Amino acid sequence: MSFFIITGFPGSGKTTLVTEVVEQLTGVDKQGFVTVEIRERGSRQGFDIITLKGRRGPLARVGSGSPRVSKYAVDIPSLEQLGVGVLQEGLQQDASLFVVDEVGKMELLSDRFRNVISQIVDEGRTLLATVPVKSGDSLVQRLKEHPSSEVWHVKKKRFDEINQQVTQGLQQELSE
């Protein structure tokens, strides 16, 4: 069991990397989600969650509401229904790989999210997750510092190399 942890600054390609790695892993029972930006006229208006099975819903939007992270109101019910829901489904169905993009400030506002990530780690499931470079959160630190974690810092000039390393590592992990 291994945890494949991807970190990098905003815009470094973490989500793109995870999406490409997941697409290359054919024949693998995987469960999880990615988080994508919502842009209107070049301006970021929020984020959506997209499950690996194609279901989509809001994570956060610019505007009023709570809880908040910066200028975004976070939609905890949507996060829990989609994101937490697919991870719990994966646990019940004994998925081979859990994909979480991302274990970040918005997602960590949900106790249910924190609990399901902790369960994945405690059960030693194979995990591909993105985390922020800078975070004082105990769960993020646990993921980065866990003895079974391999951490990659994504930089555009090393993108292809890291993509290959993560894909090969996961293929090896999942074939054992």
pLDDT, average across residues 97-110: 97
* pLDDT tier, 1 (very low <50, low <70, confident <90, very high otherwise): low
* pLDDT tens per residue, range 54-86: 999 999 999 888 899 999 999 999 999 999 999
Please give the structure tokens belonging to residue 97. Answer: 């790989």
Q: 25 with 97: CB under 8 angstroms? A: yes
Residue 122 has pLDDT above 70, yes or no: yes
* pLDDT tens per residue, range 31-49: 999 999 999 998 999 999 9
Specify the number of domains making up the chain.
1
CATH of the domain at 95: 3.40.50.300
- The parent domain of residue 64 ranges over 3-175
Helix (H) / strand (E) element for 89: namely helix 85-92
pTM of the predicted model over 0.85:
yes
